[in-house]
Structure 1
C-alpha cells in the first residue's frame, strides 16, 4: 500500500480539492482526481521521504479555527492602520526561538504567519531554531512571541510531535 499511496493524507486532500474545484462528483472527475492524487503522492515521495503523521487530528480543526479567527482579526487591524496612519511607521522584526523541529509543523507555521496580514516569515535558522518575522505594525515584540507560541506552536507541537 505504501508504494501505491506513499502519502495518503496528501492524496486525500488533493482528491477533495480536485472535486471542489471541479464542482462535480461525477465518475469522470472522481477517476481523474484519484489518478492525479495518486500520481502526485508518488511524485512527492522524492521530496517528502518521510510520511506525514498527525498525532491528534482534532487539534487540526482547532488550529484551523484559531488561525481563521486570527486572520480575520489581523485583516481588520491592518485595515485600521491603513485608514488611520500614524506619523511614523512602526514596522519591525521579531526574532523568536521555536521548540518545533518537525519539518511539516515548521511549514504549517510559516504558512500561517505569512498568510496572516501584517506579518511575514522571513528566515529560519535551523542550528539555533530561531525564526525571523517581519511585522507591519509592531507595537510589542513580546506580545507577538507569546501569541505565536501559545496559539500556534503549542497546537502544532500537539499535532505533529
Structure 2
C-alpha cells in the first residue's frame, strides 16, 4: 500500500508542476543571440541567421515563461528569405502534342497548371512548356514519377508551395 500512495503523490506533484507554469510576463527579457549568429542582433529584436552563402531567414525570439518543466528556452517565428534557385523559370505553352495533349489553366496568357491525359509523359509535357524534366520536377515535388490521367501539374514557381488554381475543367 505505501508504494501505491507514493506513486499517486509523485503523479499529483508532476501534474501540478506541469500545470502550475507561471503566465507569460508583460516585459520580455532580451534573448542572447551570440551563439546563434555571427552578427549582433539588430535593435528591433530580430536575429539574422547567418550561413556561409548569406542570410536565409530572420527569427524574432522571445523568452519562454519560467516555471514550467517542459518549456523551451525561447519561442518565436522564422521568416524565410530564400534566393530564387531557378531564376527565369517560365513555362510557355507551345500547344498540344502527342504525349502532352491535356488542358491548361492560364492567367494573362501564362500557363498556371496542366491536367494530364492518357499517354502523357513528363518529358513530353516539359517539352510542350519549354522547360526541362528537372524544372517540371521542381515545380511539382512528386512522390512518384508515375503520371496518371487526371493529375494536375503546377507550371508556376509562385504556386509551387501548394497555392491552388481554379482549372478550366472544374
Structure of higher RCO (CA pairs closer than 8 Å, 6+ residues apart): 1
Q: Which has the higher helix share?
A: 1
Structure with greater strand share of residues: 2
Do the structures match in fold with TM over 0.5?
A: no
**Larger-Rg structure:** 2
Pick the TM interval, shorter chain.
under 0.3
TM-score, reference length from structure 1: 0.20
The TM-score, its normalising length taken from structure 2, stands at: 0.19
